[in-house]
């Protein structure tokens, strides 16, 4: 089935479900962005939080709302719309799974947020033990994860139904990518689910006296790094499938796109130990093995870069671009749907370079737990990923609401992207430099008093506040655009852009759609990478020496 033959309009009932997710995502963006603004103000040393609000309280709000809630809800809204657009309208039962998942996620979000606001769950973004939150916070996060599993099941079932109805045909590329991302999410979130359900939740309820801290951290990072790819792959979906259509081109290679997604699937999970390179209790051999597996992710990333810029060049030359870079000038630089995600693509270049430093065994010693790490994080997730989400929202929301992206809203979209680029350049650069000077992450620096080292960080703290202010202005502009596109823009039809496959792409090998084979490889890698390290953690812990009662 050609992508050109897919449905051109998302069914109204599916659109309602997708929009519900998207609206929650942008509410989380506004509140989480405000918390981030307060953070950088406090770190500048020129501002104190009012009403007894704690710095780590707003840090937790910022991290959880943007890192978990914004992402999960927007991704599911986009994926629901994408599957409906390319594989057909959901059945009533499939859509019901989506709604059940949405309400469980929403209830869980509210429960967790209330505990954070009451200052009973100030446990940072990673909610590490031995920091302990109220049990309602952990229960809320559990509902978010379980709800996401139920919602993703509806998407996968729609894809399976399409495969049964079109035996022997290559499935729609976007639907295929959605299934890969949902499988990645399910496998990865098992780690944090085990930690919360069997360690942190019983511990906070007083059912057990203690938890194995190293085990809980290892289970978190089993999930934590794959979470990055759960955020990233929807951006890649936009880059591979949507952006070529926006610029008037075609998907460079269907096979290359599917292979890159399968490689992300198998290399995303067994790499979490590279976040724990400085932690004792884990054998260095296994840390090194997972560093190697982490570096393997460079391969699908480079494949994606090659595919994207090949698409850009082919289209630019079709439009008359001459010379080595003449094609570059022919791209639609006045289209917010293109330029905002493109800024994100550019940010991913230095972000990826910083990631290599983070995952390198020796260079990590310098920057581990410094503010360099959030600086890297804000280039990869908060720039490459989030800007792509914004660019997608500029066409996704009006498509689902039956409105138009007007010329003025398109211009505001470009303004928001430029503001984001300027603000993030200032803030993340300051974070990277301060990190090299030893400034710690997750700290308001007040405990350093008059130490000379803290004075060295002051210019970069102020720069972070300047950059953060510009970023929050960008959030306000984007929020305005979203509200207009949802309820006030002129009625009309906005395209859900899905590119067709380039004629030179060639047939897609059936192996690339054989999920059984790729899942077996994934499970084998996880067993190889984690069995012995986790066994060592359990058997060498004080509780583990007494019959493995490590809970």
Active-site residue set: 225, 229, 376-378, 441-442
- Rounded to whole angstroms, the Cα distance separating 109 from 137 reads 9
- Residue 136's CB is within 10 A of a number of other CB atoms, namely 18
* Residue 130: cis peptide before it, omega within 30 degrees of 0: yes
Look up residue 1 and give its DSSP letter: -
* CA 488 to each of CA 24, 392, 409: distance values in angstroms, whole numbers, following the listed order: 18, 19, 11
Packing angle between helix 135-165 and helix 71-87, nearest 10 degrees?
10
Write the CB contacts of 379 (distance below 8 Å, at least 6 apart in sequence).
Answer: 347, 348, 350, 351, 354, 424, 428
Quote helix, strand, coil % in the chain, to nearest 5.
75, 0, 25
How many other CB atoms are found less than 10 A from the CB of residue 525? 17
Placement of tokens 């006030």 in the chain: 488
Name the residue among 74, 66, 529, 28 with its Cα closest to residue 271.
529
Beta bridge partners, 370, equal 440
List of residues 6+ apart from 15 with CB closer than 8 A: 81, 84, 399, 400, 401
- Return the closest-CA partner of residue 346 out of 379, 391, 310: 379
Q: What is the 3-state secondary structure (H, E, C) of 194-213?
A: HHHHHHHHHHHCCCCCCCCH
- Cβ-contact 489, 398 below 8 angstroms: yes
Length of the chain: 551
Cβ-based neighbours of 145, under 8 Å, separated by 6 or more: 108, 189, 192, 193, 196
Q: Are 490 and 237 in contact (CB under 8 A)?
A: no
Cα of 538 vs its chain's centroid, Å:
31
């Amino acid at each position: 089935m050609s992508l050109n033959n897919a449905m051109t309009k998302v069914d109204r009932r599916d659109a309602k479900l997708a929009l519900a997710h998207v609206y929650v995502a942008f509410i989380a963006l506004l509140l989480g962005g405000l918390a981030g603004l307060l953070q950088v103000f406090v770190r500048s040393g020129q501002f104190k939080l009012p009403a007894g609000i704690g710095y780590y309280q707003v840090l937790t709000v910022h991290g959880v709302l943007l890192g978990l809630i914004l992402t999960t809800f927007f991704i599911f809204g986009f994926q629901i719309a994408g599957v409906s657009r390319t594989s057909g309208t959901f059945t009533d039962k499939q859509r019901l799974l989506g709604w059940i998942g949405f309400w469980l996620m929403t209830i869980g979000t509210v429960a967790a947020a209330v505990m954070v606001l009451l200052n009973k769950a100030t446990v940072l973004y990673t909610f590490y033990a031995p920091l302990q939150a109220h049990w309602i916070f952990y229960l809320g996060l559990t509902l978010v994860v379980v709800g996401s599993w139920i919602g993703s099941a509806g998407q996968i079932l729609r894809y399976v139904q399409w495969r049964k109805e079109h035996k022997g045909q290559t499935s729609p590329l976007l639907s295929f990518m959605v299934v890969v991302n949902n499988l990645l999410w399910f496998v990865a979130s098992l780690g944090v689910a085990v930690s919360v359900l069997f360690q942190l939740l019983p511990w906070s309820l007083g059912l057990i006296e203690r938890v194995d801290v190293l085990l809980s951290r290892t289970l978190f990072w089993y999930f934590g790094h794959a979470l990055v790819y759960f955020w990233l792959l929807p951006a890649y979906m936009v880059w591979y499938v949507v952006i070529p259509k926006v610029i008037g081109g075609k998907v460079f290679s269907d096979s290359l796109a599917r292979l890159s997604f399968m490689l992300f699937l198998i290399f995303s999970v067994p790499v979490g130990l590279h976040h724990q390179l400085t932690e004792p209790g884990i054998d260095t051999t296994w840390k090194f093995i997972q560093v190697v597996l982490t570096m393997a992710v460079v391969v699908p990333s480079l494949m994606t870069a090659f595919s994207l810029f090949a698409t850009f060049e082919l289209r630019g030359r079709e439009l008359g671009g001459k010379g080595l870079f003449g094609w570059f000038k022919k791209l639609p630089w006045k289209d917010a749907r293109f330029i905002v995600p493109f800024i994100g693509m550019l940010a991913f270049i230095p972000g990826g370079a910083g990631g290599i430093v983070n995952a390198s065994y020796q260079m990590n010693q310098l920057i581990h737990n410094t503010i360099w790490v959030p600086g890297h994080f804000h280039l990869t997730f908060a720039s490459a990923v989030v800007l792509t989400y914004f660019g997608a929202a500029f066409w996704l929301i009006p498509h689902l609401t039956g409105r138009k992206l007007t010329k003025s809203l398109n211009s505001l979209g470009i303004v928001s992207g430029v503001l984001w680029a300027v603000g993030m350049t200032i803030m993340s650069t300051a974070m990277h430099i301060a990190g090299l000077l030893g400034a710690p992450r997750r700290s308001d620096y007040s405990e350093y008093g008059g130490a000379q080292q803290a004075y060295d960080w002051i210019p970069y703290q102020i720069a972070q506040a300047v950059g953060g202010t510009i970023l929050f202005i960008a959030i306000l502009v984007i929020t305005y655009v979203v509200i207009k596109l949802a309820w006030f823009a002129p009625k009309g039809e906005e395209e859900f852009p899905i590119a067709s496959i380039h004629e030179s792409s060639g047939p897609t090998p059936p192996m690339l759609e054989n999920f059984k084979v790729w899942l077996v490889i994934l499970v084998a890698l996880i067993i190889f990478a984690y069995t012995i390290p986790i066994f060592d953690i359990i058997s060498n812990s004080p509780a583990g020496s007494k019959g493995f009662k490590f809970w």
